[in-house]
Amino acid sequence: MKRCFCGFLALMLLIGLAVPAWATEPYITIYTHGDREHKRIAITVDDWYQPELLPDFLDASGKYDCKLTLYPLGVMLNIADRPLWQRVLDEGHEIGNHSNTHANLEDLNRDRIMRQLQNMENNLYEVLGFEYKINSVRYPYGAGRYKGLRSSFSQAVAEAGYIHVVLWDVDTTDSDRIMRKVENGSIILLHGRRRDLRVLKEILPQLKEQGYEMVTVSELLGLEKTEPRPLAKDRP
């Protein structure tokens, strides 16, 4: 019996060794914070239902050398706002993908997930006038974070061109709560609305005084910029 068991164990080991590495690697990586050893944080701003507030967010950030990462919805990107979004890039901020319509992605099938992400890209490209290399995605509502890194959901996100999923560890409440919770590597979640503009103006001087460097998500996480991708309409 012992010999039998040893033979079975050896067979299982051989089978395990025969599984290629790519078959067990995650499709995506999910980040809620960066390196806890260094005094760097990222401030992210989602949705942008009130794009007219964008200049105020940029003005406030510029006073404290803060680089934002913006996650706009595709439907909120208007070609008339091209100068605003060009200013975002000119001042060193970053743009990520937050879907096209703020759909709950985990409720969608593969094709609809991909359309949500790719349509947002196309809207951004049209507004900017060139193909900007989007480096990360943020799920609307954070929905999908528990789907599993090798789930069909995560595979669809990866096939849409996104392997970096950025969430947060400090949520929008009020400035006092944010300052109590923030720590090295934190990713702060705000939204493009008037209330959060007030919060941003309150926390920026405090964060600066405490010695935090406020960088983009890609800088915080050490993400490499992806290679240029073809427009979604040209993809197979």
Task: List beta partners, residue 56.
Answer: none
User: Are 97 and 71 spatial neighbours (Cβ–Cβ below 8 Å)?
Assistant: yes
CATH class, range 26-222: alpha beta
Look up residue 179 and give its DSSP letter.
H
97 closest CA partner among 123, 66, 126, 127:
123
Count of residues making up the chain: 236
Burial class (CB in 10 A: 0-12, 13-18, 19+), 110: middle
- pLDDT confidence tier of residue 101, bands split at 50, 70 and 90: very high
The whole model's pTM is what? 0.86
Q: What backbone torsions phi and psi does residue 68 show, to the nearest 5 degrees? A: -90, 155
| pLDDT tens figures, 10-57 | 544 454 555 455 567 999 999 999 999 999 999 999 999 999 999 999
| pLDDT tens figures, 163-215 | 999 999 999 889 999 999 999 999 999 999 999 999 999 999 999 999 999 99
Taking the C-alpha atoms of residue 54 and residue 174, their distance in angstroms, rounded to an integer, is: 20
Instruction: For tokens 């595979």, name the residue.
Output: 155
Residue type, 13: L
| pLDDT tens figures, 49-71 | 999 999 999 999 999 999 999 99
- Where do the domains of the chain lie? 26-222
| pLDDT tens figures, 137-171 | 999 999 999 998 999 999 999 999 999 999 999 99
Helix 82-90 crosses helix 54-63 at what angle (to 10 degrees)? 20
